Homo-oligomer: A and B are copies of this chain.
């Protein structure tokens, strides 16, 4: 179906910070993006939202651990409907840091690692900039 054949196109609206937060809290899996010498990388992780950050776990021996600490990162959550060609997405941008000790996190802020292996490293991405968009069916 070409663009000219469509009756209507979906309309894009910005979401406010409260809506973005509610959508972030409604999901369990998002995607972390970070910059490597070979360009940006995006990987899905399960996460929790604390008052001021996204928290997820990773292995201390992986690419996230090697690249992310102290640097700006992004985190994205979305939901789309292929049929109505609509959906929403939320983007968090902020500095990522390792959590020194898991004991610094309240119990409800310690995500369980889905994948096996030693995922002992907790990473926080600060909720510095939080933006979102909703694509309403046309």
Which A residues have a C-beta under 8 Å from some C-beta of B? 1-3, 6, 8-12, 28-29, 31, 33-35, 38-44, 46, 71-76, 78, 80, 82, 85-87, 89, 91, 93, 110, 112-117, 129, 135, 138
Main secondary structure of the interface of A (DSSP, over half): strand
A42 partner, pick from B42, B80, B113, beta carbons under 8 A: B42
The answer to whether A74 and B40 touch (CB under 8 A), given A9-B116, A112-B3, is yes
Residues of B within 8 A of A34 (CB): 40
Q: Is the CB of B93 within 8 A of A10?
A: no
Query: What number of copies of this chain does the assembly contain?
Result: 2
The answer to whether A112 and B44 touch (CB under 8 A), given A28-B82, A39-B93, A72-B38, is no
Q: Is the CB of A73 within 8 A of B40?
A: yes
Closest B residue, CB atoms, query A42: B76
CB distance from A110 to the nearest CB of B (A): 7
Closest B residue, CB atoms, query A75: B42
Q: Is the CB of B11 within 8 A of A116?
A: yes
Q: Is the CB of A78 within 8 A of B31?
A: yes
Taking A3-B112, A115-B135 as given, write out 4 further A-B residue pairs in contact, using a Cβ cutoff of 8 Å, ordered by the A residue number: A9-B114, A31-B76, A38-B93, A43-B91
